[in-house]
Amino acid sequence: MNSFKIKKSHNSSIHLFIAVVGTVFASVSIAQSTSESINQYLEEIDLVEANEGSYSSQLSDLLMSLGNSYQANSDFENANLVYQRGMQIEKINYGLFSLSQTPYLRAIAESHRAMNDWEQSQKAIDQYYLVNEKVYGQRDVRMLPVIESLINWHTESYNMRDPRDSFPNLTSLEILARKLHVILDESADLGDPSTPKKYKQIGRIQYMLARHIKDYGLPQEGGMSITTDRYATERNSPISSHNYYSRGSAALQKVVKATMEQSPPVMMDQIEAVANLGDWYLIFGQVGSATKAYSLADELISVSSEPELIRNNIFGMGKIINFDEPSKDGFLNDDGDFNLIEVSMTISRSGSALDIEIDKEKNDLTDDDERVLRKYFKKRRFRPSFSDGKTRSMQLILPYYLPKVEA
């Protein structure tokens, strides 16, 4: 029996060795391939320059490919030099604000972000916006995909950085949200299925801003007013609880309106949109407005095909109020190696978690685990029960997934 175990262990070691060696060889092969590509592009660039000149438009694709190869090789400094040259050639051939330079600006921003050079990354991505705005105009509907791509960019950057250093990305997001709102109000088709999602992005950004300021405060040097030259307009815009509350509620009201105008109508989408608006009012202390929104959602539920089932799903499950990305609330995500902890609590009329209890006979939690768990639920707000025109408290058991610790 022991010899079998030793033999099995030996074979496993051999397989592991082969796998490691294979990985090393694959990495070396990729590096060699990238180096060969770089040399090939350099030779092709020399040939084009010799025949067509240093500013030939034929260099554009070659320089982009060369820069991408350097970037794939983590040689970001050379990548940026190549991208900068490609951008200059586009400007010379097609004009100072040519759209053809924008792929280079995005690539430059990517390279600086990969090096954690946030200031230069910000400058490049700001210039990307300005070039597009110069060509299309500030309120042109063609700016929508540009703005949405930059919202994704700054959201990714915000999540990549230490929260205390990431406020510039939030500032940019807030400005972009306002610009998005203006264009949508002027030109959006409310019946378009994509319109509710666009307005919902605006609410999400205001929520991110509110949550960040609540958790970390405003940067000391900025006080209560953020001054920025980004995107060339709307400077000295005060960021206050009133501003992000009102902007978020205006956007979510448009989500409701757009959802109501969808054809064919989807009852569950309408109910959830109205209930989400109620959630927004609730977390900002607007109890009267929350009650009105929840009442409208309840009326829609009453004329639905399965009112009791839907009412329980909407108002009886203790849904966490979160306008941010779903991944931000990992306690409901059971992917991975976790211990399921069932936590009983009371959800108050205002959506707070009270009387949090854990069955300690079933769950072996350390004091630190329990402290983190309680803090988690205390910091969150939940959609309360609603019936007969009033929010009501309710008793719930909710899951919490605690990472397993190997013995």
199-251: pLDDT as tens digits: 999 999 999 999 898 888 888 654 333 333 444 334 334 455 568 899 999 99
For CA atoms 172, 162, 199, 297, give the dihedral sign.
Answer: negative
DSSP 8-state symbol, 342: E
Residue 219 neighbours by CB distance under 10 Å = 13
Residue 65 above 80 pLDDT? Answer: yes
Inter-residue contact 364 to 300 (CB < 8 Å): no
Q: Which amino acid is at 61?
A: D
User: CA-CA distances (angstroms) from residue 136 to 77, 144, 306?
Assistant: 32, 11, 48
Residue 367 above 50 pLDDT? Answer: yes
Rounded (10°) CA dihedral 353, 359, 362, 363: 50
pLDDT given for residue 7 in this prediction:
37
Average pLDDT on 195-201 reads 97
Query: How is the chain split into domains, by residue range?
Result: 326-403
- Give 5's pLDDT tier (boundaries 50, 70, 90): very low
Taking only the tens place, the pLDDT of each residue in 22-62 is 443 344 444 556 788 899 999 999 999 999 999 999 999 99
- Give 365's pLDDT tier (boundaries 50, 70, 90): confident
Residue 326 above 80 pLDDT? Answer: no
Taking only the tens place, the pLDDT of each residue in 156-188 is 999 999 998 999 999 999 999 999 999 999 999
- Residue 362: which region, alpha, beta or left (left: phi > 0; alpha: psi -120 to 50)? alpha
- Pick from 202, 228, 206: which is nearest to 148 by CA? 202
- Give 269's pLDDT tier (boundaries 50, 70, 90): very high
Q: Which residue has the tokens 């609880």?
A: 241
Share of the chain above pLDDT 70, in %: 82
Residue 347 above 80 pLDDT? Answer: yes
Inter-residue contact 382 to 318 (CB < 8 Å): yes
What's the burial of 255, exposed, middle or buried (CB within 10 Å: 0-12/13-18/19+)?
buried
Residue 267 neighbours by CB distance under 10 Å = 13
SS3 55: coil
Average pLDDT on 360-369 reads 85
Rounded (10°) CA dihedral 194, 200, 201, 205: 170
Inter-residue contact 407 to 344 (CB < 8 Å): no
The secondary structure of the chain in percent helix, strand, coil, rounded to multiples of 5, reads 65, 10, 25
What's the burial of 159, exposed, middle or buried (CB within 10 Å: 0-12/13-18/19+)?
middle
Distance CA 272, CA 1 (A): 62
Average pLDDT on 80-109 reads 97
- Pick from 126, 92, 133, 81: which is nearest to 106 by CA? 126
Choose the weakest-confidence range: 88-102, 136-150, 221-235.
221-235
Overall CATH class of domain 326-403: alpha beta
Q: Which amino acid is at 197?
A: K
Q: Which helix (H) or strand (E) holds 391?
A: strand 390-392
